[in-house]
Amino acid sequence: MQLVHLMDKYFQEASGNLLNESADRFVEWKKICSPTRLIKDYHFSTRQAALEFLRQLFLFEDEFNHHGRVALQNKDVRIEVYTHDIDDVTELDIDYSRVADQIYLDVSEYEK
């Protein structure tokens, strides 16, 4: 699946104010403060899978000019994302989290 098609799918499904959606939408993403941001840990079965995830995530970040804080430790990746200009979570960060989750699912499925 090409990155552009992936993003089109997400933006077509988005409706209304995403910040007002129910909290259960972020079950796996934690919202923490100082500054307010979204954070999530991903675990991969192999280091190669983690690296492929990062490759695809970085392509997305560069294409949409929105970058999270990303840390890799062996087969684990931690992502923190927020809009730095306002030190808070915006719709852009929510979209970022959705794309990261979809990339994770795609990479995980490919590894099977």
Residues 43-73: tens digit of each pLDDT: 999 999 999 999 999 999 999 999 999 999 9
In this prediction the pTM is 0.75
CA–CA gap between residue 99 and residue 76 (Å, rounded): 18
Q: Which domains does the chain have, with CATH numbers?
A: 3-12+26-111 (3.30.1360.20)
- In the prediction, which pLDDT does 111 show? 79
Tokens for 45, please give them.
């079965």
List CB contacts of 67: < 8 A, sequence separation 6 or more. Answer: 61
The amino acid present at 29, given as its one-letter code, is: W
Q: What is the pLDDT of residues 18-51, one digit of tens each?
A: 444 433 333 489 999 999 999 999 999 999 999 9
